[in-house]
Amino acid sequence: MTISQQWITSADQVLFNNYGRFPLVPVRGEGCRLWDAEGKSYLDFVAGVAVNSLGHCHPNVVRAIREQAGMMLHCSNLYYIPKQIELAQLLCANSFADRVFFCNSGAEANEAALKLARKYSRNKFGENRFEVISALCSFHGRTIGTISATGQDKVKTGYDPLLQGFRYVPYGASDALEKAVTATTCAVLLEPLQGEGGVNVPPPGYFKKVREICDRHNLLLILDEVQSGCGRTGKLFAYEHEGIEPDIMTLAKALAGGPPIGAMLAKEELASTFGPGSHGSTFGGNPLIAAAAVAALRTLLEEGILDNCLRMGRYLVERLHELQKRYPFIVDIRGRGLILGMELAVPGAGFVRKAMDKGVLINCTVDKVLRFVPPLVVNEAEIDEMIAVLDGIFAEEGK
Ligand SMILES: *Cc1c(COP(=O)(O)O)cnc(C)c1O
């Protein structure tokens, strides 16, 4: 048995089997590459599902973690944490927001957003305003609250009773959204581009209309940028493509360059809703993770990475379209920056497995959409390598 096989056997005995894991044990990463326990290398176009946006072990992030680890690992939010303050300053200076609340994951950030929206609306408009409209095919996390907010049955099955107060509308249809507004609606929760739901890009002008609807009915617009944020679409935040601003935004995945983090950002008027004791998190914004995030965000802003994301995104789309011309089972190619989806007329899981055997990691979501979310530092040669492998396995399928 190889070392990898030994780990997989052990995992089967002690871990919950809730992930449907691939038989791969990566132990080291650098840039766009991972190595398994046997030393085989993999080109990584999954990047921790849009977490490792600076590539694996970016030296700036590693250095910041090492320095902070020798100073202080954890400190309660009963006290002030300089790195957390610095991170919030960076986020506010580069977004619509005035204030930030830190937590540890995307789901937690969305929980905070839902709590803030409810409390704000209750204070401002009275008891009966708590309902949130979200989209079909959305994904907002795995807590009871966020599966209730998610417009996909597959994450909800078996967990009844769920949280009350959600209504779901088709993504991209502003008329349906406005029709769903009632006297009890307090907020609209949307992804600027749906990730898990199949890399769905909204039609042009959709978010302008959503903003108008929210303004007309005094609703808060909450944007879940957990996957689309932090440079993934070629802008720091995906809402910047739409010419609008949200009232609340949630971040997580790539924010700290790898380590776990979540954040909820909001305008001043809303932020005052959360007074002392109203919400909290033990680890949220802790010094170690905040130091990593400051380094990650500075790197993203100062080292031309957004520009690389846009250029490499365009190049990858071009190369994917070349494949589409030759393989009729490729139905659609869509996305923005370096979150790209290739919809197939056939299931995608087999291709993902074959690509892995050939040393390339890609992801498949909603059964038929291959999702490409490489590190934003990816280069043309790495894209060519991934395309060559994909071409090879598609050619086998065509036979
Ligand atoms: C991944 C994701 C989440 C959940 O984040 P966790 O850190 O796994 O809780 C929420 N919303 C979106 C859009 C995501 O992509």
Q: Global pTM?
A: 0.98
* Domain range enclosing 21: 3-57+304-398
Q: Are residues 237 and 372 in the same domain?
A: no
196 CA closest ligand 1 atom index: 15
With a 6 A CB cut-off, is 363 part of the ligand 1 pocket? no
In the reported structure, the alpha carbon of residue 196 is separated from the centroid of ligand 1 by a whole-number distance in angstroms of 9
In the reported structure, the alpha carbon of residue 344 is separated from the centroid of ligand 1 by a whole-number distance in angstroms of 24
CATH number for 213: 3.40.640.10
With a 6 A CB cut-off, is 65 part of the ligand 1 pocket? no
Q: Are residues 267 and 195 in the same domain?
A: yes
Residue 63 lies in a domain: no
Please identify, among 251, 278, 302, the residue that sits at the C-terminal boundary of a domain: 302
Q: Average pLDDT of each block of 10 consecutive residues along the chain (399 residues)?
A: 97 96 97 97 98 98 98 97 98 98 98 98 94 98 98 96 97 98 98 97 98 98 98 98 98 98 97 95 98 98 98 98 97 98 97 98 97 98 98 88
Q: Which residues are catalytic?
A: 139, 224, 253
Alpha helices (H) along the chain: 3-14, 47-50, 59-71, 82-93, 106-125, 144-149, 174-180, 206-216, 268-271, 287-302, 305-326, 349-357, 380-398
In the chain, the number of structural domains is: 2
Q: Give the closest residue to 247 by CA, choosing from 205, 199, 279, 207.
A: 207
In the reported structure, the alpha carbon of residue 241 is separated from the centroid of ligand 1 by a whole-number distance in angstroms of 21
Q: Are residues 343 and 281 in the same domain?
A: no
pLDDT score for 397: 84
With a 6 A CB cut-off, is 36 part of the ligand 1 pocket? no
pLDDT score for 57: 98
pLDDT score for 399: 59
pLDDT score for 61: 98
With a 6 A CB cut-off, is 225 part of the ligand 1 pocket? no
With a 6 A CB cut-off, is 105 part of the ligand 1 pocket? yes
In the reported structure, the alpha carbon of residue 41 is separated from the centroid of ligand 1 by a whole-number distance in angstroms of 28
| CB-CB contact of 377 with 305 (8 Å) | yes
